[in-house]
């Protein structure tokens, strides 16, 4: 069923990531690299990006997505991990291990997690909107209106992130599907 977006195209453009999300990315990037590779990675970055990684910003601070993309490009260069799906999984793992309190999730509370996913997404991203359309036992459906700076973000990173988060919350063999809006390739 096609939904009419409750936000304008301009409001759907995701421009920033909240600092709490950056903390999870930092842990993910660090876990992907040996000490030697991490040092080479840091040396390859411009000073502002080094500062962003080594001096945590507040959890409420908005970080422009351009800076996230610049970090992502370097991470891809320094690791064998090419797929956004695996980075999404690692980020979910980091969020749980870090005991992120921006959206408190109770371990093993799968239904609560399914209900709170839109809150988690909407809190972390400036621009876009995610809503829960339907929640029935063992199944949830969401609508997500967002235009990300790189197109594989929702279809790869998001799918990997949500599948891993659901696994960590006790789901057995979760399947997260992504259907692009009509008219998108």
Identify the domain containing residue 63 by its residue range.
Answer: 9-168
Please say if the pLDDT value at position 184 is more than 60. no
Q: Could you give the number of structural domains in the chain?
A: 1
122-177 per-position pLDDT tens digit: 998 999 999 999 998 878 888 888 888 877 888 888 899 999 989 988 888 888 88
Query: Does 2 fall in a domain?
Result: no
pLDDT at 103: 65
How far is residue 103's CA from residue 108's CA, in Å, rounded to a whole number?
Answer: 15
| 130 close to 118: Cβ distance less than 8 angstroms | yes
Query: Does 180 fall in a domain?
Result: no
pLDDT at 82: 60
Query: Does 1 fall in a domain?
Result: no
String of DSSP letters for 154-171: IIIIIHHHHHHHHHHTT-
Query: Does 137 fall in a domain?
Result: yes
pLDDT at 185: 44
Query: Does 182 fall in a domain?
Result: no
48-100 per-position pLDDT tens digit: 999 988 887 888 899 999 998 898 888 888 887 666 788 888 888 888 877 66
Pairing assessment for the beta strands 125-126 and 16-18 based on DSSP bridges: antiparallel
């Amino acid at each position: 069923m096609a939904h009419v977006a409750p936000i304008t195209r301009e409001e759907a453009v995701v421009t920033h990531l909240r600092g709490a999300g950056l903390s999870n990315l930092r842990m993910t990037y660090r876990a992907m690299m040996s000490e030697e590779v991490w040092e080479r990675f840091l040396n390859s970055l411009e000073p502002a990006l080094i500062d962003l990684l080594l001096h945590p910003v507040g959890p409420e601070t908005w970080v422009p997505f351009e800076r996230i993309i610049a970090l992502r490009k370097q991470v891809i260069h320094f690791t064998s991990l090419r797929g956004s799906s695996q980075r999404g999984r690692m980020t979910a793992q980091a969020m749980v291990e870090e005991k992120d309190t921006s959206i408190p999730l109770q371990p093993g509370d799968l239904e609560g997690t399914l209900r709170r996913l839109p809150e988690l997404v909407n809190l972390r991203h400036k621009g876009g909107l995610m809503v829960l359309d339907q929640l029935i036992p063992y199944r949830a459906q969401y609508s997500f209106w967002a235009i990300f700076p790189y197109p594989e973000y929702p279809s790869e990173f998001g799918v990997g992130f949500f599948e891993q988060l659901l696994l960590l919350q006790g789901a057995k063999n979760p399947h997260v599907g992504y259907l692009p809006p009509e008219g998108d390739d």
